[in-house]
Copies of this chain bind each other. A is one copy, B any other.
Amino acid sequence: VKLPKSFYADGVHCGIAKNKKKKDIAIFYSGRDCAAAGIFTRNLVKAAPVLVSRANLAKSAGAIRAIVANSGCANACTGEKGMSHVYATTGFVGARLGINDFNVLVASTGVIGVELPVLKVEDGVKRLSAMVMAGKSSPNAAVEAIMTTDTFQKQACREVVIGGKRARIWGCAKGAGMIHPDMATLLSFVLTDAAITPGVLKTALKPAADVSFNRVTVDGDTSTNDSLIALANGAAGNKKITAPSGADYRKFAAALSSVCRDLAVMVAADGEGATKLIRVYVGSARSAADAKKAAAAVATSPLVKTAAFGNDPNWGRVIAAAGRSGAEFDPGRVDISINGTTVARNGEAVPFSESALKRSMTRKELKINIELNSGNASAEYYTCDFSFDYVKINASYRT
């Protein structure tokens, strides 16, 4: 794994996690000022780090230098004390790295309503700052440190040539639970050495989120801590992108979307207890909004997701979920296929080989296609099946 130029990342165990082998705090550091953009949870209940990061972005979107992220504690519903713990964290980082407090962003994930053990964070920041100042970098360690119930690391990367200069866009995400638009993931950080203004970066980040993290659902719950943060430090040396138009912008925006989509698909595939990724595609809808509504309802339905776990091609649940989604269509024109096998045409059953389809459904990826046959719009949604392990993981997450 190679980060974009002049970025450094690392992770250590500082004691927030009970398991001493689990890294629980990470730093993402840039040697140069970064243009920065963020998209945060729309939950009314916002964690302290979300509030502070949003304020710091508003204050200095052109001069962000570091993100500090921890797992094991969400620092949400922690009141004034929670806020002061975030200010303490940005203070530690600022002092160690010799930068302003408000040039630091903070993200947390873990249990809600528990105080951040700020002295452990201080220790972690001290060690991590020393590491990145010495030029050390281990993206894998950083990504491990933000994992909670994730079973694998989520990283994605694209290279893109902008005005003759090769720029790199690297991203990571942590997902697994409390995953639903908007935002769809708990934490994601995207780092690039492309030169771009903060405003244009924000403009590019929004549609990237819309086709990626805002198309993922694991359990329908939006978190209090969702944060997608992009940093661009300009070390690639390209002519700075200053407007959301032109070939350079389009190339950059497309690559950014690809990185986000790769991460989003990984988040879906690694949903808590998941045994398979489910891609729900809704085609020939009257409008993009209708397509998205229908796809979201199917992808969120516990009945569809448990049937997927059981390799049961229960298309009745698929059409029923689309029917309650609010999307407008004629149920008598709907075609449904599962893994390429047509199971319903014009809203009614068609014969298919049950045993062959069940066998194909045991694969790690399931594709549900719904053609509404009422227009030209489409949307894809990413989710996972609902297994015994989802219940097992979540019945005793806190204790």
Contacts and interface: CB of A to CB of B under 8 A. Distances in A.
A131 interface: no
Interface stretch (A6-14, A22-30, A221-229): A221-229
B348 A307 contact: no
Number of copies: 2
A221 B324 contact: yes
Contacts of A327: 44
Interface of A: 42-46, 74, 76-79, 111-114, 177-178, 180, 219-224, 300-303, 306-307, 309-310, 312-317, 319-324, 327-329, 331-332, 344, 346-349, 354, 358, 386-388, 390-392, 394-399
A45 to B, nearest CB: 3
Contacts of A386: 391, 394
Contact of A391 (B222, B306, B320, B398): B306
Given A347-B77, A391-B390, A396-B310, A303 B219 contact: yes
B323 A44 contact: yes
A307 B395 contact: yes
B79 A347 contact: yes
A331 B79 CA distance: 10
Contacts of A42: 324
Given A220-B301, A302-B302, 5 more contacts: A79-B346, A111-B316, A220-B220, A222-B320, A310-B395
Contact of A349 (B43, B114, B306, B354): B114
A322 B307 CA distance: 28
Interface centre among A43, A177, A315 (most CB of B within 10 A): A43
B43 A320 contact: yes
Given A74-B316, A348-B78, A388-B388, A309 B395 contact: yes
Given A112-B316, A307-B397, A77 B348 contact: yes
A336 to B, nearest CB: 10
B394 A306 contact: yes
Contacts of A317: 112, 178, 221
Contacts of A221: 301-303, 317, 320-321, 324
Interface centre among A220, A223, A309, A324 (most CB of B within 10 A): A324
A145 B224 CA distance: 45
Q: Lowest 4 A-B CB distances belong to which pairs?
A: A112-B316, A310-B395, A45-B323, A306-B394
Contacts of A348: 77-79, 113
A347 B332 CA distance: 48
Contact of A306 (B220, B354, B395): B395
A327 to B, nearest CB: 8
Contacts of A77: 316, 319, 331, 344, 347-349
14 contacts: A46-B331, A77-B316, A77-B331, A113-B348, A220-B301, A220-B302, A221-B301, A222-B320, A222-B323, A302-B394, A307-B397, A312-B397, A358-B399, A391-B391
A219 B301 CA distance: 8
B79 A329 contact: no
A223 B321 CA distance: 8
Nearest to A294: B44
A260 to B, nearest CB: 21
Given A221-B321, A331-B44, A386-B391, A397 B178 contact: no
Contacts of A224: 316, 320, 323
Contacts of A46: 331
Given A302-B302, A303-B221, A324-B42, A312 B399 contact: yes
A395 B391 CA distance: 14
Contacts of A114: 349
Nearest to A82: B348
